[in-house]
Structure 1
């Protein structure tokens, strides 16, 4: 092989290597399928101006998303609040941390059979989420509405076993989120997470009897990453791409005002 040809090959190889280095791997973000996909497509557009490329990875339910992040199959996710993440970190032995707020999705108390709280009958069957963090959240809402009381010894994540007073003799049914939302016609009422209520076609206004307050509420959703990545160069551009006016407007439009953007 001639010296000139050898130099040409070396130069071409060097250029290919430089080109590969200039194309960073996309940041894979795990989200729940549905309306959030439309939100994150706009986030993708927002990141292009910064040179960051993100890949949206959708899941039909929340349980596998943190496991995928902890395993390195994702760089970030955006679907959960603090108490849920705390429980998941304990269960998985993971070290996932929040890096920027997204929105607050207040859980609602819905019914297709009864129009007001006062008309819910004695012995009614009430559905609540089956996962510990959101079951506790649901029971706290029912307590705030005067429908039951939770034992003072229950801790931060009460379950139906921690109900100390049940004056209306309610039956509490623990159901997985998608099943709970779809089962509302068969229940007297249910405490349903906003995203699942929307997916199931529940009318977020006419069928809602009450919803939780945002005041001092720990259930604000956020973008999360593995702890070693918390200060990675791509994290702040990712968060900033979400926390923009066009995302705020799309959130309010997509969820008809039922979800509240949670950044300043």
Structure 2
């Protein structure tokens, strides 16, 4: 079941822009009501209710330890499931939920640009690596002229895949600061391979037909490929725009009580217990990143 929903989760990484939902005309009053209720609860020392939106049941596992920790600190963190990747930001902007945690920074920015949402990243969660797999060779050094490498054909993942191939020494990209490079941005093939662009979800099944392939973590897991079987592991993990995050309404960050509560939520997620879930439950397909950043520092 976890494998099934992991596929749903990582569909996000392959999406640059999705169709939107209509605005909620009553959002201002709804947001104010949620905010005031949470503030009053915190001031009275009562249990604070916080709703966090996610997409996919896998988040129940990822957040389980945080939910338990926060309960001991007087915060009732309710996981609210959504069935698509457009609704959670709309729901957050409209005050139907207090936080969400389902997207990386590129996607959040695309939603802000498209719909005008005033949302802020308050804490980093993880990155999901893109690794190189093969059924025909055991090392990148075995690649030779004429071999074929499959890469995802969507803009976000193809750009990441090409950066992985560059890090592996297979290609050299032009120095043009293109964050999401395409095949046109390849300056040199250090090994004269053919790069085949395919839909990310189909790539695992093509492994017998290609020399190697860059495979999204969720699809690799579904196909029975563990991290250790990769012939080259993604080292391009310092690109912050690929990091997943926890988002809040920017206007709520002017309230010290809410900031304090949200900080506890971030801290409850960024723990050794959560990292153990990344490694033990999901085989290292989630990697913690940016946990040393205090994204709420300017609001305290």
Q: TM tier, shorter chain?
A: 0.7 to 0.9
TM-score by length of 2: 0.66
2: CA distance, partners of 1:230 / 1:134? 32
Once the two structures are TM-superposed, the CA of residue 205 in structure 1 deviates from its matched residue by: 0.8
Write out aligned runs for 1:202-221 (5 A): 202-206=225-229, 208-213=230-235, 216-218=238-240, 219-221=242-244
2: CA distance, partners of 1:156 / 1:73? 34
Correspondent of 1:248 among 269, 275, 278: 275
Kindly tell me: are residues 238 and 231 of structure 1, through their superposed partners in 2, closer, same or farther at Cα, counting changes over 3 Å? farther
1:229 aligns with 2:256: no
Kindly tell me: are residues 194 and 64 of structure 1, through their superposed partners in 2, closer, same or farther at Cα, counting changes over 3 Å? farther
CA shift digits 1:101-142 (9 cap, x unpaired): 223433211223332213335444433334423321211111
Equivalent pair of 1:84/1:134 in contact (CA under 8 Å): no
Kindly tell me: are residues 215 and 66 of structure 1, through their superposed partners in 2, closer, same or farther at Cα, counting changes over 3 Å? same
Kindly tell me: are residues 48 and 191 of structure 1, through their superposed partners in 2, closer, same or farther at Cα, counting changes over 3 Å? same
Kindly tell me: are residues 125 and 214 of structure 1, through their superposed partners in 2, closer, same or farther at Cα, counting changes over 3 Å? closer
Once the two structures are TM-superposed, the CA of residue 236 in structure 1 deviates from its matched residue by: 1.5
Q: Which moved more, 1:118-127 or 1:129-138?
A: 118-127
* SS of equivalent to 2:228: coil
Kindly tell me: are residues 246 and 95 of structure 1, through their superposed partners in 2, closer, same or farther at Cα, counting changes over 3 Å? same
Correspondent of 1:147 among 154, 158, 170: 170
* SS of equivalent to 1:149: strand
Correspondent of 2:51 among 13, 17, 27: 27
Equivalent pair of 2:47/2:76 in contact (CA under 8 Å): no
Map of 2:195 onto structure 1? 171
Consecutive unaligned residues of structure 2, counting only runs of 5 or more, are 1-36, 293-300
Once the two structures are TM-superposed, the CA of residue 92 in structure 1 deviates from its matched residue by: 4.2
Higher radius of gyration, 1 or 2: 1
Equivalent pair of 1:126/1:189 in contact (CA under 8 Å): yes
Task: Please give the root-mean-square deviation of Cα atoms over the aligned residues, in Å.
Answer: 3.4
* SS of equivalent to 2:227: coil
CA shift digits 1:15-58 (9 cap, x unpaired): xxx9xx87865413214443x43121222222212332223244
1: CA distance, partners of 2:212 / 2:86? 25
Correspondent of 1:81 among 100, 104, 111: 104
Once the two structures are TM-superposed, the CA of residue 239 in structure 1 deviates from its matched residue by: 0.9
Equivalent pair of 1:107/1:191 in contact (CA under 8 Å): yes
Map of 1:128 onto structure 2? 151
Q: How many residues align?
A: 243
Map of 2:6 onto structure 1? none
2: CA distance, partners of 1:59 / 1:44? 18
Correspondent of 2:118 among 90, 95, 112: 95
Equivalent pair of 1:99/1:223 in contact (CA under 8 Å): yes
Kindly tell me: are residues 150 and 64 of structure 1, through their superposed partners in 2, closer, same or farther at Cα, counting changes over 3 Å? farther
Consecutive unaligned residues of structure 1, counting only runs of 5 or more, are 1-17
